[in-house]
Amino acid sequence: MQALVLEEKNRLSLRDFPVEETLGPRDVRIKLKTVGICGSDVHYYTHGAIGPFVVREPMILGHEASGVIEEVGSDVTELAVGDRVCMEPGIPEPASRAARLGLYNLDPAVRFWATPPIHGVLRPSVVHPADFTFKLPDNVSFAAGAMVEPLAVGVHGATKAQVKPGDVAIVIGAGPIGLVTVLAALAAGCARVIVSDVDDTKLAIAEKLGAVTAVNVARTPLVEAVKAETAGWGADIVFECSGNARAAAAVFEPLCPGGKVVFIGIPLEPIPYDVAGGQIKEVRVEHVFRYAHVYPRCVGMLASGAIDVSSLITRTFPFSASVEAFEYAATSPAGEVKIQIEMPD
């Protein structure tokens, strides 16, 4: 099948690529319709690795996806041929201790699309477990369905934060994960979200998402903006979504006493951790790694209109231009949030 293949660092090709997948009794075969480009996909392209995950042989990219079921296994009764679906890309080992504890996203044996050596889904079709395949209502587009994967990160973060109605939250970083976290925080009950970044175009997109105050930290210190917004008290929650080491090291400063911090962005280097700064405010700190148990919630919120991701999809390429799409994404163009690839019919 034709696929977008990362041959090695900085070299992509669109070519025929053999992938053997057998349909098991609890599997479905899905024809891909829309695939989003994630920052991790781009990082594998430009760096050839993310931490311990190193691309050592050609690998198909892509893990944010939606499609149509074209075949079902003999034991699948909840899904049918023709169903429009989105897919959770991480497949744990069902018998693992992490999976049995409900922490399947933390299973060391998880097989996650486009994480070496597991192939991704920038290709015509994929075989996937029915248990990690979710039906899309008719009013949820394939483009929105492919956004469920990044949205799940934000919803998992908001769940970890235990958002209360009326909370004031800070989201550091207005990239795709930051903006879906804004949507999740507002849907969970935040009265206001303060978003910080250095890209005015992305901050303008953030302001259109609802009760959002945008702060360009190249011009205005975040702490000052938060104090002005909260009468000097500080925010109830800080979601660190940038992965920027300097930003991550300062998360306690704009937080109110007794507040919460959720680390979502993954820094590429160790950060200094201000233990005393967290202690004197009795901060509760949470960490997020991907997500678990939130896909049905995300689909439900998209279907009800509680969350609308359409403004975050800023550019679409055809599958035939996949290489060009990644070359463009790798330039980190200002104002771009989510770039997607539409698969051929």
Residue 296 predicted with pLDDT over 90: yes
192-221, pLDDT tens digit by residue? Answer: 999 999 999 999 999 999 999 999 999 999
Residue 1 predicted with pLDDT over 90: no
Residue 150 predicted with pLDDT over 90: yes
181 close to 155: Cβ distance less than 8 angstroms: no
Residue 332 confidence (pLDDT): 86
155-166, pLDDT tens digit by residue? Answer: 999 999 999 999
The mean of the pLDDT values for the chain is 96
Residue 216 confidence (pLDDT): 98
Could you say which of 3.20.20.100, 3.90.180.10, 3.40.50.410, 3.40.50.300 is the CATH number of the domain covering 2-147+309-342?
3.90.180.10
Contacts of 171 (CB under 8 A, 6+ apart): 178, 179, 181, 182, 185, 193, 194, 195, 196, 206, 239, 241
The Cα–Cα gap between 172 and 196 comes to 5
Residue 114 confidence (pLDDT): 97
Residue 52 confidence (pLDDT): 87
Band of pLDDT at residue 227, cut at 50, 70 and 90: very high
CA angle 168, 252, 307 (to 5 degrees): 35
Please state the domain extents for the chain. Answer: 2-147+309-342, 160-287
56 close to 70: Cβ distance less than 8 angstroms: no
Q: Which two tokens stand for residue 112?
A: 């996650």
Q: Reduced to 3 states, what is the DSSP secondary structure of residue 81?
A: coil
Residue 277 predicted with pLDDT over 90: yes
The Cα–Cα gap between 202 and 161 comes to 24
The Cα–Cα gap between 27 and 128 comes to 5
**Topology of domain 160-287, CATH:** Rossmann fold (3.40.50)
Which single residue is written with the structure tokens 């781009």?
42
Q: Give me the mean pLDDT over the 272-276 stretch.
A: 94
